[in-house]
Amino acid sequence: MIFKTVSIVIPVYNEEKFIEATIKKVLKADSCALKKEIIVVDDCSTDKTRQILRLLKKKHKELQLIFKEKNEGKGSALKLGFLRSKGDIVLIQDADLEYNPDDYPNLLEPFLKNQADVVYGSRFISDRPHRVLYFWHYVANLFLTLLSNALTNLNLTDMESGYKVFKGDLIRKIAPKLESKRFGFEPEITARIAKIKGIKIYEVGISYWGRTYEEGKKINWKDGVRAVWEIVNYNLLLK
């Protein structure tokens, strides 16, 4: 398959401090000669995010904006973005720059050289810069990845990674079935792709510029507890 375009789906909620810098970095990022389709899904922000996005749209006509009327969560925003996308490859980009668009070449390489179906960026197999933050978040990520691996029979090192990339036709086929509206998207999509026979999944090292709760981090311990149930549900009860 010859890849010509990459759709970059950016879910956003109350990111007035970061969204302009994120969009600018995405626009400048090296996409390995693939044409970019940039889809921003605003999950009913209540700060100035929407105003900033409208101003950016005037400067960058290629931006596609989806404004939701109800806040539902990351998974819900991603589902809309996936269904709108037309790219041969679809890449998830968080809006807060914890994940650096400079890593796009690493994420795209397995598609261009190895005909990958799915690529996960891993924060734990990389020699790239990695901000040191919360020990218990690290432990929780390891535990959730281990539990997910035990049920999917995959050997991922970072199931919860925000950088996930898919062949466009594959994710658009899966998207209508997605159920999780919040951060449960991560275990759900992992469970769903693991059930596809013959799928080629790769993992590449990425940098990570995590932020603190004071800087706006949204995921919390309740989401971690909920993720345990979601891993079990989507692996054992999903049809």
Structural contact between residues 86 and 7, judged by C-beta atoms closer than 8 angstroms: yes
Q: How far apart are CA 180 and CA 229, in angstroms?
A: 12
Confidence at residue 44, expressed as pLDDT on a 0 to 100 scale: 96
Q: Nearest to residue 215, comparing CAs of 40, 16, 29?
A: 16
The whole-model pTM stands at 0.91
- Report the distance separating Cα 199 and Cα 186, nearest Å: 17
Whose structure tokens read 């996005």?
A: 53
Write the DSSP assignment of 25-51 as a string of letters: HHHHS--TTPEEEEEEEE---SSSHHH
* pLDDT recorded at residue 158: 95
pLDDT score, position 183: 77
Q: What is the mean pLDDT of each run of 10 residues along the chain (239 residues)?
A: 96 95 97 98 97 96 95 96 98 94 98 97 82 72 93 96 97 96 91 96 90 55 77 83
Q: Compute the C-alpha angle 144/146/147, nearest 5°.
A: 65
Contact 171, 91 (CB under 8 A): no
- The domains of the chain, with CATH numbers, are 5-237 (3.90.550.10)
| Residue linked to tokens 């709108």 | 84
- The pLDDT of residue 113 is 96
Beta bridge partners of 208: 130
Residue ranges of the alpha helices (H) in 4-129? 19-28, 49-59, 74-84, 104-114
Q: For 208, which DSSP code?
A: B
Centroid of chain to Cα 149: 19
